[in-house]
A = this chain, B = another copy of it.
Amino acid sequence: MKEIRGNVIVGQSGGPTAVINSSLVGVYKTAKDRGANIVYGMLHGIQGLLENRVVDLSGHIKSDLDIELLKRTPSSYLGSCRYKLPEIQEDQEIYKKIFKILDDMEIEYFFYIGGNDSMDTIKKLSDYSILNGSRIRFMGVPKTIDNDLAATDHTPGYGSAAKYIGSITKEVIRDGLVYDQQSVTMIEIMGRNAGWLTGAAALAKCEDCEGPDMIFLPEIPFNIEDFMKKVAKLHERKKSVVVAISEGIRVEDGRYVCELTDNVDYVDAFGHRQLTGAARFLAGRIARDTGCKTRAIEFSSLQRCASHMVSRVDITEAYQVGGAAVKAAFEGETGKMVILKRISDDPYICVTDIYDVHKIANIEKKVPREWINEEGDYVTEAFLSYIRPLIQAELTPIMADGLPRHLYCQDHRNE
Contact = CB atoms under 8 A, between A and B. Distances in A.
Contacts of A81: 179-180
Interface string A133-172: 0000000000000000000000000000001001110111
Contacts of A267: 284, 287-288
A266 B280 contact: yes
Given A274-B295, A304-B175, A266 B284 contact: yes
A23 interface: no
B305 A289 contact: no
Contacts of A263: 261-265
A382 to B, nearest CB: 17
B393 A396 contact: no
Copies in the complex: 2
Given A206-B403, A402-B166, A179 B391 contact: no
Contacts of A391: 402-403
A241 to B, nearest CB: 9
A127 to B, nearest CB: 26
B309 A308 contact: yes
B269 A290 contact: yes
23 contacts: A15-B178, A75-B178, A80-B179, A163-B402, A166-B403, A168-B308, A171-B305, A172-B301, A203-B402, A203-B403, A208-B405, A208-B408, A209-B406, A239-B415, A262-B263, A265-B284, A268-B292, A268-B293, A269-B291, A298-B298, A309-B309, A391-B402, A391-B403
Q: Which 7 A-B pairs have the closest CB atoms?
A: A269-B291, A265-B284, A268-B287, A391-B402, A175-B305, A263-B263, A208-B408
